[in-house]
Each structure stands twice: as structure tokens, then as C-alpha cells.
Amino acid sequence: MSDDLAARLAAVNARIARAVEGAGRPPGSVRLLAVTKTKPPAAVRAAYAAGQRDFGENYVQELVDKAAALADLDGIRWHMIGHLQRNKVRHVVKLVSAVHTVDSVRLAEELGKRASDAGRSPLTTLVEVNVGGEAQKGGCSPEELGSVLAAVERAPGLALSGLMTVPPHTDDPAGARPFFDRLVALRDAHGGAARLPELSMGMTHDLEHAILAGATWVRVGTAIFGERG
């Protein structure tokens, strides 16, 4: 099982490297976040043994449990990529190296306060934007983005890093491209790469399109760990 996993991880890294080259971007300019939601700690261990260090989780309780089960893995970095409720912030603030899903002023304020109280280094923060305007999805609207960015910058415990999005599903992966381009346009409208160096976008089925558009983090689960049950 872990040999298969190492092979799938290598294949994803090769996909990323090819896409980076095809886009004419510098090697190493796109990093892989391995998404482990619903997958057991053993799967994380296998990916870690194969060299992966950045892992993304969607649910607070699952993140807390997995981080505890894997506390022996030196240098592992957990990223929160799921919807975060304000009353759960205190459980994750010491565990994560980054949060990709800040989408309101109130969440930024709570996260900043808790991160600061925890005495940790400023927490790398990305603001999630709902570029597709889908009612059931997380993320602030493009209109709210300016105020959320300002709240992150005001928060003593947070370090503003960039933008994140999950586009509407399209059967054709190329269908995601206009949404990735919209996130890039929002970045350009709000200070560009100097203020917002990271763009977290692209998953198993559309990562090449995200990299062409300018992603710096791709978040990949299925291609590494298999389908989720």
C-alpha cells in the first residue's frame, strides 16, 4: 500500500512539474498540499515517508485527532482548508501552520486573537473567495474581499499570505479556468503579488489549469490517496 502511495505521490509531483514547465514558470514555484480528509493516519505516514510535508484537513475534529496521532512526525505542516467556525478556532490555532479558509472579518478577528494569545508565530492566512457565487460554498464574495483582507492585516496574530478558491465543479477540467482567472484578477485588484503572494487553487482534476493561471499551492487528495468512501 505504501509503495503504491509513494508512486501516486511521485506521479502527482511529476504532473505539477510538467505543468509548471509548460506554463513557463520557475521550477519549485508551485507546492503540493496533500489533502487527507477521511484518510487514516497510516496514509499520512506513508506520504510523509515519501517526502511530503504539507497536509490539508477540512474538519477540525479530524485535524485534532490526526495531528495527535502523528505528533512524532518532525516538521509536518498542517493546513486548515475546510470551513472554520469561530467557536472551533481555539482547537486548531496551535496545530496548524496555515489557514486557507478565512472568509469573514469576524473569523479573522477571532483567529488573530487566539493566535496571538497562543503566543505562536504569526499564522499564515489565506482568504477564501467564493468566485462562483455558489450559495452552499464557503468564501467571501468579491465585494467583501477588501474588508476581510484589511481585517487579516490588522490582526496581530495573523500574517496575510494570499487567496484561495474552490471553483464550481465542471466535468471538463478546463471549465475551472475562468474561475481561477477571476481569483488572479481579484489578487491584482487588491495589491497584486506583493501583498498576496500565494494563490491556493487547483485539485486532482484541474491542477494543470490552476498552474497555468498562476496557482502557488495545489491541494490534491484523490490522485494521491484514492477515492474517498
Ligand X SMILES: *Cc1c(COP(=O)(O)O)cnc(C)c1O
Residues binding ligand X (CB under 6 A): 35, 37, 58, 81, 166, 203-205, 219-222
Our CB check for ligand X shows the closer of 13 and 222 to be 222
- Beta strands 31-35 and 54-57, pairing class: parallel
Our CB check for ligand X shows the closer of 120 and 205 to be 205
Q: Are 167 and 131 in contact (CB under 8 A)?
A: yes
Angle at 62 between CA 61 and CA 65, to 5 degrees: 85
Q: Are 123 and 157 in contact (CB under 8 A)?
A: yes
Least distance in Å: CB of 34 to ligand X?
A: 9
Ranked by CB distance to ligand X, the top (closest) residue is 221
Least distance in Å: CB of 193 to ligand X?
A: 22
Q: Which residues pair with 158 in a beta bridge?
A: 123
Our CB check for ligand X shows the closer of 90 and 137 to be 137
Least distance in Å: CB of 164 to ligand X?
A: 8
Our CB check for ligand X shows the closer of 56 and 214 to be 56
Least distance in Å: CB of 205 to ligand X?
A: 6
Q: Are 164 and 127 in contact (CB under 8 A)?
A: yes
**Diameter of the chain measured on Cα atoms:** 46
